């Protein structure tokens, strides 16, 4: 606190303010016994806060000033009484005792006031700390809420993107299926025959024969149509034989498949089928033929993707193909022709 400035006409009692805040000095006049105005530097809000939080300190200052003033008054009264009394020494002694008793009574009160002021100050500090922590907690909660909202928005965006990806994947799968169907359709169109004759080129025969030794493996010809709106069929060959020809012969079969126009065709299938292994040296071809058994399920209208294959399990002996001079294989390639007699 700043020091008190003395006034010219009356004595001044200087009292130090115990508050850590800035005040102007408190001046007590012996005659008027009034307090000069408290002056606090700061805004109106800070002044109000100071007045609220420092009531105990201010009251302690007022009490100390009053007690000091009373002490001065009692001293003056005692001196006057000692002059008028014939027992002055006794009176003075009594006056000294009164002032001593007053000082002794004032000491504990001042200590209690100081303790109360210190307690008030500590409480104020703690309240300020709690207030700051509350503000920080509010700020943290607000930031946490904002982050949670942002996180929820991001999750929503991610889910939306995942849905879009799923839709695009589904669309891509559908497009792939359409492309596969178009490829199959183009392949079928390229293999379509209108005279009932289809030629099958089989490359890498030596490798296939070597790999298939001891195994029963089927090589299937891509499907073909006997006419634009005709029967759908395919050929199946076992280079190492199947059934009765396993290990000794090439087995060749004809398979009727479920087509798009089966409802318009005559059933059962009863056209003669002729297989021919072409001689690539202008010699005699090797051929075999069969007539469909109209009672066999192999030639009824298909109810699944394809019927049971039927044909020639003993189509060609393997030794005719394994000979280096075999006329049926040239450049490791052989040709098989399938002819369907549509006039029968």
**What is the distance between the alpha carbons of residues 248 and 322, in angstroms, rounded to a whole number?**
11
> Is residue 293's pLDDT more than 70?
yes
Q: Which of 199, 190, 192 is nearest to 339 (CA)?
A: 199
Which pTM does this prediction carry?
0.47
- Which of the two residues, 294 and 103, has the higher pLDDT score? 294
Rg (alpha carbons) of the chain, rounded to whole number: 60
Signed CA dihedral, 168, 172, 178, 181: sign only: negative
- Which of the two residues, 177 and 192, has the higher pLDDT score? 177
Signed CA dihedral, 140, 144, 145, 147: sign only: positive
> Is residue 194's pLDDT more than 70?
no
Q: Tally the C-alpha atoms within 13 A of residue 224's C-alpha that lie toward its C-beta.
A: 23
Signed CA dihedral, 216, 219, 225, 226: sign only: negative
> Is residue 119's pLDDT more than 50?
yes
Q: Which CATH class is domain 197-341?
A: mainly beta
Mean pLDDT of 227-241: 88
> Is residue 244's pLDDT more than 70?
yes
**Candidate from 52-66, 122-136, 326-340 with smallest mean pLDDT:** 52-66
- Which of the two residues, 78 and 45, has the higher pLDDT score? 45
40 DSSP 8-state letter: B
CA end-to-end distance (rounded Å), the chain: 130
296 DSSP 8-state letter: S
pLDDT tens-digit map of 68-116: 654 554 554 444 444 444 444 444 444 454 555 566 666 777 888 888 8
Is residue 205 a contact partner of residue 334, using CB atoms and an 8 Å limit? yes
> Is residue 306's pLDDT more than 90?
yes
Q: Which residues of 26-63 are buried (b: 16+ CB within 10 A; e: fewer)?
A: bbbbeeeeeeeebebeeeeeeeeebeebbebbbebbee
Mean pLDDT of 35-60: 62
Residue 77 neighbours by CB under 8 Å, 6+ apart = 95
pLDDT of residue 4: 40
Residue 222 neighbours by CB under 8 Å, 6+ apart = 187, 188, 191, 234
Structural domain boundaries of the chain?
Answer: 12-138, 197-341
**What is the distance between the alpha carbons of residues 271 and 268, in angstroms, rounded to a whole number?**
9
> Is residue 246's pLDDT more than 80?
yes
**Candidate from 37-51, 186-200, 246-260, 275-289 with smallest mean pLDDT:** 37-51
Share of residues in the chain with pLDDT > 70 (%) = 67
In this prediction, residue 28 has a pLDDT band, given cuts at 50, 70 and 90, of very low
Phi, psi (rounded to 5 degrees) for 251: -105, 135
**What is the distance between the alpha carbons of residues 176 and 157, in angstroms, rounded to a whole number?**
28
Q: Which residues of 104-129 are buried (b: 16+ CB within 10 A; e: fewer)?
A: eebeeeeeebeeebeebbeeeeeeee
Is residue 285 a contact partner of residue 268, using CB atoms and an 8 Å limit? no
> Is residue 120's pLDDT more than 60?
yes
């Amino acid at each position: 606190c700043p020091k008190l400035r003395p006034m010219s006409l009356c004595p001044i009692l200087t009292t130090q303010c115990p508050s850590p805040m800035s005040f102007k000095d408190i001046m007590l006049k012996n005659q008027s016994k009034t307090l000069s105005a408290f002056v606090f530097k700061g805004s109106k809000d800070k002044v109000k806060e100071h007045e609220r939080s420092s009531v105990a300190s201010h009251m302690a200052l007022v009490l100390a000033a009053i007690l000091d003033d009373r002490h001065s008054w009692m001293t003056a009264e005692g001196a006057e009484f000692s002059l008028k009394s014939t027992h002055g020494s006794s009176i003075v002694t009594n006056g000294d005792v009164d002032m001593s008793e007053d000082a002794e009574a004032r000491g504990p009160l001042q200590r209690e006031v100081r303790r109360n002021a210190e307690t008030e100050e500590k409480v104020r500090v703690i309240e300020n700390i709690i207030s700051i922590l509350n503000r920080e907690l509010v700020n943290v909660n607000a930031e946490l809420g904002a982050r949670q909202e942002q996180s929820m928005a991001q999750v929503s965006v991610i889910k939306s993107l995942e849905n879009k990806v799923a839709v695009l994947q589904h669309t891509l799968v559908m497009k792939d299926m359409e492309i596969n169907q178009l490829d199959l359709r183009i392949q079928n169109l390229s293999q379509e025959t209108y005279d009932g004759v289809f030629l099958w080129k089989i490359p890498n025969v030596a490798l296939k024969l070597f790999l298939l030794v001891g195994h029963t493996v089927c090589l299937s010809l891509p499907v073909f149509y006997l006419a634009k709106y005709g029967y759908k069929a395919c050929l199946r060959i076992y280079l190492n034989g199947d059934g009765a020809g396993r290990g000794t012969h090439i087995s060749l079969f004809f398979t009727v498949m479920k087509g798009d126009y089966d409802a318009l065709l005559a059933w059962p299938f009863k056209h003669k089928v002729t297989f021919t292994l072409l001689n690539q040296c202008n010699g005699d071809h090797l051929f075999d033929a069969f007539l469909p058994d109209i009672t066999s399920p192999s030639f009824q209208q298909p109810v699944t993707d394809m019927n049971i294959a039927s044909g020639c399990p003993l189509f060609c002996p393997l030794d005719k193909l394994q000979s280096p001079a075999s006329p049926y294989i040239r450049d490791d390639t052989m040709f098989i022709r399938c002819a369907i007699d549509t006039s029968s």
